[in-house]
């Protein structure tokens, strides 16, 4: 099972394009339609840092950095300082309905 999971992670994200990130189901399903969730880096970044070429992990972080301006706008809309990344996004804007967000 572990080898299959490692295979899946290597197949799901090659790190070639910093405009892309890892979807919550990888290649196992289409339910989320290419959306990126807020916790991708928390779960996947350690794997790519320890097993892959560093540019792969770097491109995951660049993806988030590319959405930083929008995250700062999201925080400002709520009167907050800093950056507020959406729970689910494709463009830097929240894709979930408000009733789906549980924070």
Q: At what angle do helices 2-12 and 40-51 cross, to 10 degrees?
A: 100
Question: Which pTM does this prediction carry?
Answer: 0.78
Integer Cα distance of 30 and 50 in angstroms: 28
pLDDT exceeds 80 at position 102: no
Q: What is the pLDDT of residues 32-91, one digit of tens each?
A: 777 888 888 888 889 999 988 889 999 999 999 999 999 999 999 999 999 999 888 888
Q: Which of 12-21, 67-76, 94-103 has the lowest mean pLDDT?
A: 94-103
The helix or strand, by DSSP H or E, that contains position 57, with its residue range, turns out to be helix 54-66
Q: Is 7 exposed, middle or buried (0-12, 13-18, 19+ CB in 10 A)?
A: exposed
Q: Determine the pLDDT at residue 31.
A: 72
Residue 101: what pLDDT?
A: 54
């Amino acid at each position: 099972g572990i080898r299959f999971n490692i295979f899946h992670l290597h197949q799901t994200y090659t790190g070639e394009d910093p405009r892309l990130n890892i979807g919550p189901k990888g290649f196992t399903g289409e339910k989320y339609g290419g959306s990126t969730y807020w916790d991708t880096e928390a779960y996947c970044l350690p794997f790519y840092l320890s097993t892959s070429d560093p540019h792969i992990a770097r491109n995951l972080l660049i993806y988030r950095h590319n959405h930083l301006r929008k995250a700062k706008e999201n925080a400002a809309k709520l009167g907050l300082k800093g950056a507020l990344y959406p729970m689910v996004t494709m463009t830097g804007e929240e894709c979930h309905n408000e009733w789906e967000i549980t924070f």
